[in-house]
Chain A
Amino acid sequence: MGLEFIEGNEAIARGALAAGCSFFAGYPITPASSILNHMQQRVAETGCTVIQAEDEIASIGFCIGASMAGSKALTATSGPGISLYSENIGLALIGETPMVIVDVQRQGPSTGSATKGAEGDIQFIRWGTSGGLPIIALSPTTVGEAYELTYRAFNFAEKFRTPVFILTSKEIGLTRESTDLEAIELPERVDRKLIATESECYLPHAFDAPEDVPPFAPFGGDHITRYTTSTHDQAAYLTTDPETTQKMIDHYTSKIEAAADELTLVKEDFEDGAEVLVLSYGVISRSASVAVDEARRAGRKVSSIVIQSLWPVPEKRIRAAMAGIRKVVVPEMNMGQYRREIERIAGAGVEVVGVNKMDTTLVSPKDILTKGGLL
């Protein structure tokens, strides 16, 4: 077993390449730029096409085009770039375009602090484009998870023909950590299901049951195919028919919602008799882990759940984690974005306490212990 001393952004690039990523387009932005650099440095070995686009709109546009031509595409940016991706995210959703979008979060709003960490894009990613369709977002807590979850993100993107987000931050992206990537067990690689070559006619958005994922035919393949930003039917022809329109919306929605269990990635550390649950995600999970250990050493009964798949919200597992719980502590590097989801799930009788700050420094274990009332 060997250890490498690498940053999260390198792990993301390598996770993507392990998943078969063959196209990267991005625009430089701190703290995401080094993903572009790491992808570029591996072009000779992988043959991956890597291009710096003229802006973020072009970055995601290139990726959508490349993905629809059959490539596994990756792009990476930070909050300001996600703002510019917004309209194309909607296109990728209704075009059923597999791709992975990395948000290496930094302090916002606006330009904010380019070199400072934050996790302020949690709800922004969820509602980042017009229409409110569900999306998939994974959030690593370590450099090793940045590798693993990027790989898994590609699998989800391919399987469900949809853009998948990686929500990481400067605090993981630009932090080096002793890591053994090779020791990480990865699931089998998934490639998008292709239309059978002998099929006469290709419907780009064909489904019987609304949750079905349509087979894919790349541009330039054997089949004539279409793609459109307009409200469309299964043939990707513009439609104004309300019934067809609703059917398509139900399709985009249910293919994600029906897969909720499969998309669930959480790490549970429960303690019998605990009435307090610490629910965390991203880099702050690491502070939570220290805080929970310390509270237990002080004789407190505390359970912990770490959410790796932020969207869709893994409600089933969160509900299960809340059994017997009277207080949920939710530490976040924002002013309480994911806490909204927990409050919604917790309902009456369960106190939900946020430990929040947005001063560019990490929420510390001490913050969680004191403000979360764990001692």
Chain B
Amino acid sequence: MTDTPRQTYMTDALGPLPFCPGCGHDTLIRALDRALVKLQPDPSKVVIVTDIGCIGLSDRYFATSAFHGLHGRSITYACGLKLARPDLTVIVLKGDGGCGIGGTHLLSVARRNIGITLIVANNFNYGMTGGQHSVTTPVGGITASTPWGNLEGPMDLCATAAAAGASWVWRANGFDKDLADTIANAITQPTFSMVDCWEICTAYYMPRNDMRKKQLLEFAENNGYTFGLQVDKPRPEYTAQYRRIVDAAQTAPKRKSAIEPKLKGNLEKQTGIIVAGSAGQKIKSAATTLSEAGIYASLQATQKDDYPITIQTGHSVAEIILSPDRIDYTGIDAPDYVVLLSADGLKRIRSKVESLDQNCVVYAEESLELPPTNAEVKRFAFVDTGKKAGRFSMATVALATLIADTDVFPLEAFDWAIQRGRNPAVVDLNTKAAAAGVELVRGR
């Protein structure tokens, strides 16, 4: 900060402002300058953010930092700046066109309440591209793209921001004597704040529609638009809240530690296991337990899951590879073991089951009707056994059966992996399920 107050936050390095004679943007930019002079912020801590449209020509006339981005996206950069540096004063200058193409960002910043200030230079049409209609063009408005009069209803930017939850909203016009004070007031809000400033476009909208000061004020009056404060509902600002919460959150969530292999697996070659059942049968979790047990038994492991985007309905298929060596190809063209737990799962991998060779062993729920296959089929009462052990335990039952029957690695490894679980109730359930699965083999 300098000792003597700054007289302006603009630079004349680029010459005078580039706007058409009489354009409302000129008034607005000078009002913003006066607002900054009133507030006296450190210019290196102020960012003027603009996007495409005539008002987007203005950022570089400020002696603050300036960011000129894609059409309609200025709010997103402003939010990024503010999220990264909540201490900055971030002011967005945007046109009514930008509010159309970037409408979702307007809704979102109002809803999120990120503490930037949005100033809309709202002159009811696209000046930069030759005067086409925008989201704020009045009904009947003549523009390059509405030569017979605009059929679209205008969007009330203030009401829209308010409906999205904006904390502070003001409707201004370029003839307001106190425009600079209004802008300063907006900048001072710790929350998201918006000034919708109605202006005259002397190049296009005014000549085509006779929209001068008098008509602009009459249009507002006749259509129920009031000027002045529209919303003043303070609520906590996002970035300040976020920082407070994150800084207070000292404890990291508890995670599984890395596995130190302690046992020896009995596999001599890469082994593919497919577990197919229904969503809700905890196929993925049981497959992970099997894989982690394999790792504990000094094997390498990969796991891929296939399931619909919904939960608790449809199929769930897990593909696990265990190998004494590095696993490259993660596809299972010829599985060594297939575990079938439900009709959903069978349906999903039916063609695979049909083409299994005699080297594959299928562990199938006894009630399932299987297609013809060359694989060796072993049937077990996985469903009934799972029901006795407890809900969600069937996959663990079946995998314990597989391990006990094949001895791919010691059962101790599977038990070790189950005990790693973070939820004691689940650990208890799976311990019982594994014992029941082993019993299915030993009981034979």
Interface residues of chain A, those whose CB is within 8 Å of chain B, are: 1-5, 22-23, 25, 30, 41-45, 47, 49, 51, 53-55, 57-58, 61-71, 73, 87-88, 91, 114-115, 171, 174-178, 180, 182, 218-230, 237-238, 283, 286-287, 289-290, 361-362, 364-366
* A residues less than 8 Å from B66 (CB atoms): 226-228
What is the distance, in angstroms, from B68's C-beta to the closest C-beta of chain A? Answer: 4
- Number of contacting residues on B, CB 8 A? 69
Stretch at the interface among B220-228, B323-331, B337-345: B323-331
User: For chain A, what secondary structure do more than half of its interface residues adopt (helix, strand, loop), or is it mixed?
Assistant: mixed
Q: Which residue of A1, A47, A49 is within 8 Å of B83 (Cβ)?
A: A49
- Asked if residues A3 and B305 are in contact (CB atoms below 8 Å), the reply is no
Closest-by-CB residue of A relative to B320 is A176
- Asked if residues B80 and A229 are in contact (CB atoms below 8 Å), the reply is no
- Asked if residues B69 and A229 are in contact (CB atoms below 8 Å), the reply is yes
- Asked if residues A61 and B69 are in contact (CB atoms below 8 Å), the reply is yes
* B residues less than 8 Å from A23 (CB atoms): 80, 83-84
* A3-B259, A58-B105 known; A91-B69 Cβ under 8 A: yes
* B residues less than 8 Å from A67 (CB atoms): 80, 84
- Asked if residues A64 and B45 are in contact (CB atoms below 8 Å), the reply is no
How far does the alpha carbon of A3 sit from the alpha carbon of B258 in the complex, in Å?
5
- Asked if residues B258 and A44 are in contact (CB atoms below 8 Å), the reply is no
Jot down 19 A-B pairs with beta carbons below 8 A, ordered by A.
A30-B309, A41-B253, A44-B251, A53-B76, A65-B82, A68-B77, A70-B84, A114-B309, A177-B302, A177-B303, A182-B258, A219-B88, A226-B65, A226-B66, A226-B67, A228-B66, A229-B52, A229-B68, A364-B329
- Asked if residues A223 and B259 are in contact (CB atoms below 8 Å), the reply is no
5 closest pairs, A vs B, by CB? A65-B80, A2-B258, A61-B76, A69-B84, A65-B77
Closest-by-CB residue of A relative to B45 is A220
- Asked if residues B83 and A3 are in contact (CB atoms below 8 Å), the reply is no
How far does the alpha carbon of A229 sit from the alpha carbon of B53 in the complex, in Å?
13
* B residues less than 8 Å from A58 (CB atoms): 73, 76, 79, 104-105, 108
* A49-B83, A176-B303, A219-B85 known; A88-B329 Cβ under 8 A: no
Asked whether B425 is an interface residue with its Cβ less than 8 Å from the other chain, the reply is no
- Asked if residues A237 and B329 are in contact (CB atoms below 8 Å), the reply is no
How far does the alpha carbon of A364 sit from the alpha carbon of B331 in the complex, in Å?
7
What is the distance, in angstroms, from A11's C-beta to the closest C-beta of chain B? Answer: 13
Q: Which residue of B81, B260, B329 is within 8 Å of A362 (Cβ)?
A: B329
* A69-B85, A219-B81, A226-B65 known; A287-B329 Cβ under 8 A: yes
Asked whether B133 is an interface residue with its Cβ less than 8 Å from the other chain, the reply is no
Asked whether B306 is an interface residue with its Cβ less than 8 Å from the other chain, the reply is yes
- Asked if residues A5 and B329 are in contact (CB atoms below 8 Å), the reply is no
How far does the alpha carbon of A25 sit from the alpha carbon of B112 in the complex, in Å?
14
* B residues less than 8 Å from A88 (CB atoms): 70, 73
User: For chain B, what secondary structure do more than half of its interface residues adopt (helix, strand, loop), or is it mixed?
Assistant: mixed
* A residues less than 8 Å from B83 (CB atoms): 23, 49, 51, 62, 65-66
- Asked if residues B259 and A5 are in contact (CB atoms below 8 Å), the reply is yes
- Asked if residues B70 and A229 are in contact (CB atoms below 8 Å), the reply is yes
Q: Which of B45, B309, B327, B331 has the largest count of A CB atoms less than 10 A from its CB? A: B331
Q: Which residue of A1, A44, A87, A286 is within 8 Å of B253 (Cβ)?
A: A44
What is the distance, in angstroms, from B77's C-beta to the closest C-beta of chain A? Answer: 4
Asked whether B134 is an interface residue with its Cβ less than 8 Å from the other chain, the reply is no
* A237-B14, A366-B333 known; A220-B288 Cβ under 8 A: no
Asked whether B246 is an interface residue with its Cβ less than 8 Å from the other chain, the reply is yes
* A residues less than 8 Å from B78 (CB atoms): 65
- Asked if residues B77 and A61 are in contact (CB atoms below 8 Å), the reply is yes
* A residues less than 8 Å from B295 (CB atoms): 3, 5, 178
Closest-by-CB residue of A relative to B319 is A175
Q: Which of B44, B80, B261, B306 has the largest count of A CB atoms less than 10 A from its CB? A: B80
Asked whether B410 is an interface residue with its Cβ less than 8 Å from the other chain, the reply is no
* A residues less than 8 Å from B258 (CB atoms): 2-4, 180, 182
How far does the alpha carbon of A30 sit from the alpha carbon of B308 in the complex, in Å?
11
- Asked if residues B81 and A177 are in contact (CB atoms below 8 Å), the reply is no
- Asked if residues A176 and B291 are in contact (CB atoms below 8 Å), the reply is yes
Q: Which residue of B67, B87, B305 is within 8 Å of A174 (Cβ)?
A: B305
Q: Which of B52, B59, B60 has the largest count of A CB atoms less than 10 A from its CB? A: B60
* B residues less than 8 Å from A115 (CB atoms): 306-309
How far does the alpha carbon of A10 sit from the alpha carbon of B167 in the complex, in Å?
37
- Asked if residues A66 and B253 are in contact (CB atoms below 8 Å), the reply is no
What is the distance, in angstroms, from A236's C-beta to the closest C-beta of chain B? Answer: 8
* A residues less than 8 Å from B63 (CB atoms): 224
How far does the alpha carbon of A361 sit from the alpha carbon of B65 in the complex, in Å?
50
* A residues less than 8 Å from B422 (CB atoms): none
* B residues less than 8 Å from A286 (CB atoms): 327-330
- Asked if residues B68 and A290 are in contact (CB atoms below 8 Å), the reply is no
Apart from A49-B83, A178-B291, what 7 extra A-B contacts exist at CB < 8 Å? A55-B104, A65-B76, A177-B301, A178-B259, A237-B14, A283-B330, A289-B329
What is the distance, in angstroms, from B352's C-beta to the closest C-beta of chain A? Answer: 11
- Asked if residues A5 and B291 are in contact (CB atoms below 8 Å), the reply is yes
- Asked if residues B65 and A225 are in contact (CB atoms below 8 Å), the reply is yes
How far does the alpha carbon of A57 sit from the alpha carbon of B260 in the complex, in Å?
43
Within 8 A of A (CB), among B91-118: 104-105, 107-108
* A2-B258, A43-B246 known; A289-B328 Cβ under 8 A: yes
* A residues less than 8 Å from B47 (CB atoms): 219-220
* B residues less than 8 Å from A66 (CB atoms): 80-81, 83-84
What is the distance, in angstroms, from B258's C-beta to the closest C-beta of chain A? Answer: 3
Closest-by-CB residue of A relative to B304 is A175
How far does the alpha carbon of A189 sit from the alpha carbon of B251 in the complex, in Å?
26
How far does the alpha carbon of A228 sit from the alpha carbon of B60 in the complex, in Å?
10
- Asked if residues B104 and A54 are in contact (CB atoms below 8 Å), the reply is yes
Asked whether B292 is an interface residue with its Cβ less than 8 Å from the other chain, the reply is yes
How far does the alpha carbon of A373 sit from the alpha carbon of B296 in the complex, in Å?
39
How far does the alpha carbon of A364 sit from the alpha carbon of B330 in the complex, in Å?
9
What is the distance, in angstroms, from A121's C-beta to the closest C-beta of chain B? Answer: 20
Q: Which residue of B60, B70, B259, B329 is within 8 Å of A87 (Cβ)?
A: B70
Q: Which of A57, A63, A228, A229 has the largest count of B CB atoms less than 10 A from its CB? A: A229
How far does the alpha carbon of A63 sit from the alpha carbon of B329 in the complex, in Å?
35
Closest-by-CB residue of B relative to A285 is B328
* A residues less than 8 Å from B80 (CB atoms): 23, 25, 61-69, 73
Within 8 A of A (CB), among B44-68: 44-45, 47, 51-52, 59-60, 63-68
- Asked if residues A223 and B44 are in contact (CB atoms below 8 Å), the reply is yes
Q: Which of B65, B69, B70, B256 has the largest count of A CB atoms less than 10 A from its CB? A: B65
What is the distance, in angstroms, from A150's C-beta to the closest C-beta of chain B? Answer: 19
* B residues less than 8 Å from A65 (CB atoms): 67, 76-84
How far does the alpha carbon of A240 sit from the alpha carbon of B421 in the complex, in Å?
64
* A residues less than 8 Å from B291 (CB atoms): 5, 176, 178
How far does the alpha carbon of A361 sit from the alpha carbon of B70 in the complex, in Å?
38
* B residues less than 8 Å from A220 (CB atoms): 44-45, 47, 65, 81, 85, 87-88
* A221-B44, A229-B70 known; A364-B333 Cβ under 8 A: yes
How far does the alpha carbon of A359 sit from the alpha carbon of B422 in the complex, in Å?
38
What is the distance, in angstroms, from A115's C-beta to the closest C-beta of chain B? Answer: 7
- Asked if residues B67 and A227 are in contact (CB atoms below 8 Å), the reply is yes
* A57-B73, A71-B84 known; A2-B249 Cβ under 8 A: no
